[in-house]
Amino acid sequence: MQQLFRQIPSLDSLLKQPQAVELCQQFAYSTVAEQARLLIEQARRFISQHHSIPHFIADENTFFMMLEEKLQNLSKVKIRTVFNLTGTVLHTNLGRGLWSENAIQAATNAMQNNVALEFDIEEGKRSHRDNYISELVQQITGAEAACVVNNNAAAVLLMLATFAQGKEVIVSRGELVEIGGAFRIPDIMAQAGCKLVEVGTTNRTHLKDYRNAINENTAFLMKVHTSNYHIEGFTSSVSEEELVALGKEFDLPVISDLGSGSLTNMQALNLPAEPMVQQKVATGVSLVSFSGDKLLGGPQAGIIVGSKEMIAQLQQHPLKRVLRCDKVILSALEATLRHYLFPEKLTADLPTLNLLTQSLETLQTKAEKLKEVLGKRLNSNYILQIEPSLAQIGSGALPTERLPSLAITISAEKQSDLLALEKQFKAFENPIIGRFSDKKFWLDLRSVAEFEGLVEMLK
């Protein structure tokens, strides 16, 4: 056994080899030395278990090939690009929406350069980092001002902490939503230090329920858009208009958590209706919060719009600094919002809206092309078909609505063959992510963004 251990070269001798010197130039001496040491330890364990020399010690070239592979893996980013063929366009687990070219350019510019983030160039003095967004939002929505934080949950937390700490917030029991990852509105309220007052029932809430719950400790009335579920049947809810009228009667503000937050009329794009931010602002709601990376089509952000006085108070709260966005996100968000100044070009410029509004004819052409490419790669164990599919927007937007789509379905006599194929798809440098349904593997064309890239990879 000792004779086998003696065949393992020393770390010093290995690091003096030309291959090691080259790797040290490419990476870093300390990292190369550490990874080489780990390989030597691996060799010692192998000898102890198998009483033989491992192949990467017997052959020096193999050792350095393995060492280089380890070093390459260390430098490789683990968040990998994937092809989304699940049929869910805004897939939270796959990063939600894609940025427009303008947003990418704006973000890249901010990464590579100093930008006037909190600097008024004309006045030559400090300004606020949300000013650019605030001016745009005023133009697009009619709101007086805006505040930007890192996501919509943060937006809700900031509103509650600023105006309701130690006070009561009245919400309909049917609107106490839980969003992804088990984050719940009541939990956010608890973190903000306010007391939740539930009114009504799960399926029916009336204006009198709010009225009866108001007292001297009420901070405001809150409306939460149930974006990720839908209650049907014997139901009743109170509109923002009614709440605003009640709020004026008692001098109480009304805030609205819209979740997805659309800035364009979805029905005009032949998509299911979704509440618009502009509509809520027009009703007189004091503050409206929504996401930047869902239907808006931009980077992850939480946007609060509404009363200039209340927005100013949000900006002054200590939590705002904790939750604020950096120059990259703000630049991308500004570029995204500027697309809304040219409404007729939205579906061409914003990838999310482009995917959602693709015609079935366009999807048919893509499906035929993908089927042809896959047909050349897969063996006779697999049966390929083009079938109608039902896609969805995703990320909590319009959960019960489905969009007509087309998919390549792959079936096989043995389920194990389909599982093996899925494993192969996931093993690509850019994995292909589909879905299983009806004993078939579905590749839905509506949700895939880089279709030509997918085809080239499969070729």
Q: Do the beta carbons of residue 373 and residue 366 sit within 8 Å? A: no
Both tokens of 345, joined, read 């070009």
Residue 230 has pLDDT above 80, yes or no: no
pLDDT band at 13 (very low <50, low <70, confident <90, very high): very high
At 339-371, the pLDDT tens digits run 999 999 999 999 999 999 999 999 999 999 999
Q: What's the token pair of residue 390? A: 């039902």
Q: Residue 400 in 3-state DSSP? A: coil
What was the pLDDT predicted at 396?
62
CA distance 350 to 355: 9
Beta strands in 190-266 (DSSP E): 195-199, 218-224, 254-259
Residue 187 has pLDDT above 90, yes or no: no
Instruction: Give the whole-angstrom CA distance, residue 26 versus residue 32.
Output: 10
144, burial (CB in 10 Å: exposed 0-12, middle 13-18, buried 19+) = middle
Looking at 106-110, 311-315, 412-416, 443-447, which range is the least confident one? 412-416
* 46-92 pLDDT per residue, tens: 989 998 989 988 888 999 999 999 999 999 988 999 999 999 999 98
For residue 86, give the DSSP letter: S
Under 8 Å CB-to-CB from 385, ≥6 apart: which residues?
Answer: 408, 409, 411
- pLDDT for 186: 80
pLDDT at 335: 97
pLDDT at 191 over 90: no
Average pLDDT over the chain reads: 91
pLDDT in tens, 158-175: 999 999 999 999 999 887
- At which residue do the structure tokens 């909190």 appear? 118
pTM: 0.89
The yes-or-no verdict on residue 441 having pLDDT over 80 is yes
pLDDT at 243 over 70: yes
